[in-house]
Structure 1
Amino acid sequence: MPLEILLVLVVGGIAGITILLHLTGKSRQRVLSADTARAEWVRHFPDDTIIDVTLTHDGHAALLRTETGPGLLWSFGADTVARHLRDFDWIDHPEGIEVQFHDFATPGVTVRLDETERRHWRHLLEPA
């Protein structure tokens, strides 16, 4: 088979799969509830005991208090990412707050918050 035809088949197949996933809703960002946030945190950290969950209004992120300290759970497409908030900086962002982890393997994340949420989360993130 000529390389040109193989290239068209591969590119067409990848584009077709991408369109199919988008049309079936698999590319939507995950929306969390308190129960799903708890379940996702336990999936990432099975030994943690969750004390409290604070969700954003849009449901794309949650701040969790655990016995080992606070943690952040956020949507990453259809999946979630969870990190303990042990070594991080938070920066005010026009859309909410930006959390920068001091770990090269963890990207920074922008948590979208309205002004009321921003004050509440700032209060929760401040050291005691």
Structure 2
Amino acid sequence: MSVQFSKDHEWINAADQAAAVVGITVHAQDALGDVVFVELPEVGKTFAQGEVAGVVESVKAAADIYMPVNGEIVEVNEALRDDPSLANSDPLGAGWFFKIKLSDPEQLSALLDEATYTAFTQE
């Protein structure tokens, strides 16, 4: 399974549904500018799709991080907490925010593929 995107500018890679990886998109980090702080959710906490699961702050603004699907937080990126600039330098890799156990894998079908997301960001 490839990476999918939400209209709230999060990405999710659910290749491993026991620990799907979530982060912010390149578009989001470009809009935010230099990320200086991240507030990550607690491991074990469950969120519904669309709920605020964290916050990212930059020199320009602060933005909420929304859950792209229902799930339970199983891991957070401690390296990102220590070095928030990873969200800028490698948003689709080392700059991931958290991993979740999916509650409803069917929700993935409502997310956008890369081409659709790119078109969405250019509207």
What TM-score, normalized by structure 2, do the two folds share? 0.30
Higher helix share: 1
User: Does 1 or 2 have the higher relative contact order (CA < 8 Å, sep 6+)?
Assistant: 2
What TM-score, normalized by structure 1, do the two folds share? 0.29
Larger radius of gyration: 1
